[in-house]
Chain A
Amino acid sequence: MQSDNRPDKRKGHVLLQTISLSKHFPLKGTSLIGRAKAIRAVDDAEFSIRENQVVGLVGESGCGKTTLGRLILRLLEPTSGTALFLVPEDTLAKYRILPPRSKEARAIEDEYSIYRFNRKRMKAFREKTQIVFQDPFSSLDPHMAAKDIVAEPMRAHHFRPKSEIETRVANLLDECGLGKQFLEKLPHELSGGQRQRLAIGRALAMAPSLVVLDEPTSALDVSVQAQILNLLQRLKKDFGLSFVFISHHLAVVRQMSDYVYVMYAGQIVEKGETEVVFSSPSHPYTIALMSAIPVPDPVSRREKILLKGEIPDLSKPPNGCRFHPRCPRALANCGWTADEVSTTLSELITSGHHPELAEIFRSPNQKVVDELTFEIEAGRELKGGEIEAVRSAIEKEKENPLFPALRAVKEVSGLPDGVRVSLTPPLVPRFTDLGDLHFVACNLFPPNPESGGDSR
């Protein structure tokens, strides 16, 4: 079982690896009867990062990247799954093979899982990890002077000798481009870019190995962003840091990351080395995302892939592949439900494209039998030729981008008062290795036989 990143010859361990990490936020006020509804913000995430590496997390709002960023720092507790910190390669490989609740597996978790750390180990973990937020306004305590903001982690971790704290603070701020005159300033006296520099200085206070940057430049102007990005690259090099770079801005992620994860609706849909993913994006969502970005080049009016619809409700995510309702290349087994197909079919009937359908189903009355079956009432028994007409109409429109749900229709059979339609059962996409450590979770790419159903 291979791990995601290229094995590092120098260090035999992975800085942080998440396995089947999920976070569901319970919804308040849901019915006491039946299963409680929850927002499935992150589902089954497999994420890893090594030393001196920048890993990008991209996606739109609600995709779970922010939640994942918080999970790997244990600023949130997971619903299930684990995250192993500083775990050696071979232990990791062993862990993947072990059955989930076995004693050996638990032993490994006790040793490496951050969610099992006791107070002392948590403190040590917090020394080695840090976070920089998106909003440079609310991420700094308005009452604290710059030097106190940077010193806070040092004081919390009992940095010794205390006399050194001041000098170290001044040096850190200097590294971040803030001179001595900024030491006493309060946050509201600084510009957005200066505040972000301060936040970065604070993040470096205890010389962490891993820094999560949550949209660090999204609130900044382009020219300021350039300064901060250059600063981050320099700091990464000088201090051997690892960054988890969360952003919805693909171009920025391309510049900064070695490795990128694309997330949609709480799941990772594609991952690989940045250059590989950007030059040959495979998941339809990744392709649409990249085409949607406005490029400052009026001459290259690219053909845009416009997705219809909205990002799904995460308390009731779509079946199968969560992207299927919007996917321009959805297949029959991507997770279509009877609800979706029946709605589409009635659209087809009333669209006027096939008047014969409108004739057969004067007042189409649909009944959903179960998730993969539904019936349409026609008020009478249909002749064989009519059922054939229905079938052929559906066949013809399967490729029509207006009616993608029709692709899931498997069978149309006659009933005493109408027809019954049954659908292809869904297949949850699993990661497929496209080679070069480029993975995509999409039914368009069936998993290769050797990897034998690699889990998400």
Chain B
Amino acid sequence: MARLDQYKLTLRLLFEDVSSAAGLIIVVGYVAVAVIDAVYPQLIGVMSANVEIPNFSNPVPQPPSWPLHPFGTTFPGVDLYQAVMAAIRIDLWYSFLIVVGGALVGILVGVVAAYMSGAVDEVLMRITDIFLSIPYLPFAIAVGFVLGRGLDELSLALIVVWWPLYARYARGQALSVKENAYVEAAKASGVGGWGIMTKHIIPNVLTPIFVQISLDLGTVVQTFAALTFIGFASSGPFLPELGTLISNGFPYAISAPWVVIFPGVAILIFAVGMNLLGDGLRDALDPRNRT
């Protein structure tokens, strides 16, 4: 199967370079944690996936100890390791949601604008420009104010802020894909506008966008965590989320640094890993490197 070979080649190329291999391993590790946490949390030692279990008898953050609290505990007595593991799943889920959601909307807008050109293009691009000029922080806060400060609302706000980038990017790619002879050939074969967009333009635009998506995931995780840090929260008080963990532990940061270090590092490693992977993907998918 010719396409399978293509994927295998990509994988092989990723592993050839140390940094992209590291990135791949990190990302795969995180995804694995997220999946296991959803399906069979006990495997990684998480008792209840969705909720931090407070221990009110000992609410003061405890330093890491083996085997009971490998990451220590945070206020109010929540085991940090379990919290972080569960939080990884939640963060990853929302980050994927935001990026993929933004990408979907953005690609659609960008490809339609590029293909239709003319007035449609102008209108769509001006709308994109308007959205692009929205600063994400005040916007997120405003959304939080109006709709509520839950994680779902936060994701919505971030999708709204994120999609214009993809629209721009997708439009640029689509404009050059549109010039290829195979698009004209499809037209001559009687394929309609939508058919061309979905069957020819979008698939050929996806490859570079894929790279952009992987790079963005790292950024989004950080942004998401930053926003939850400043005040967006999960629906329940004990829903684990990396940014929330940091903000909860913040008052204790000096006396009990592990409380912020572990969640922070968890974010950091994921962002770095995703970046390395994205970079590696860009090189691996470059047709020149595939002979």
Asked if the two chains touch in their complex, CB atoms less than 8 Å apart, one says yes
A binding-site residues for B, Cβ under 8 Å: 73, 75, 123, 126-127, 129-131, 133-135, 138-143, 145, 152-153, 156-157, 184-186, 188-189, 199, 202, 205-206
B190–A143 CB distance below 8 A: no
Q: Does B203 contact A (CB under 8 A)?
A: yes
A130 to B188, CA, bound (A): 6
Q: Does B254 contact A (CB under 8 A)?
A: no
* A and B contact pairs by CB, cutoff 8 A, 5 listed: A126-B188, A129-B188, A139-B185, A141-B200, A143-B204
A156–B189 CB distance below 8 A: yes
A73 to B188, CA, bound (A): 8
A138–B1 CB distance below 8 A: no
Tell me the smallest distance from the CB of A449 to a CB of chain B, in Å.
Answer: 43
| Interface of chain B: mostly helix, strand, loop or mixed | helix
Q: Does B184 contact A (CB under 8 A)?
A: yes
Q: Does B93 contact A (CB under 8 A)?
A: no
A138 to B3, CA, bound (A): 19
A153–B181 CB distance below 8 A: no
CB neighbours of A127 from chain B (8 A) = 190
B191–A143 CB distance below 8 A: no
CB neighbours of A157 from chain B (8 A) = 189-190
B189–A133 CB distance below 8 A: no
Tell me the smallest distance from the CB of B193 to a CB of chain A, in Å.
Answer: 11
A186 to B7, CA, bound (A): 13
Tell me the smallest distance from the CB of B177 to a CB of chain A, in Å.
Answer: 10
B204–A142 CB distance below 8 A: yes
Tell me the smallest distance from the CB of B114 to a CB of chain A, in Å.
Answer: 17
CB neighbours of B3 from chain A (8 A) = 145, 186
Tell me the smallest distance from the CB of A242 to a CB of chain B, in Å.
Answer: 15
Query: Of residues 1 to 41 in B, which have CB atoms within 8 Å of A's CB atoms?
Result: 1-3, 6
A157 to B189, CA, bound (A): 8
Instruction: Name the residue of chain A whose CB is nearest to the CB of B207.
Output: A143
With A123-B190, A153-B190 in contact, do A185 and B185 touch (Cβ < 8 Å)? Answer: no
A133–B184 CB distance below 8 A: yes
B195–A139 CB distance below 8 A: no
CB neighbours of A186 from chain B (8 A) = 2-3, 6
Instruction: Name the residue of chain A whose CB is nearest to the CB of B189.
Output: A153
Q: Does B139 contact A (CB under 8 A)?
A: no
**Residue in B182, B184, B199 whose beta carbon sits within 8 Å of that of A75 in the complex:** B184
**Residue in B181, B182, B189, B192 whose beta carbon sits within 8 Å of that of A130 in the complex:** B189
Tell me the smallest distance from the CB of B210 to a CB of chain A, in Å.
Answer: 13
A143 to B182, CA, bound (A): 11
Q: Does B126 contact A (CB under 8 A)?
A: no
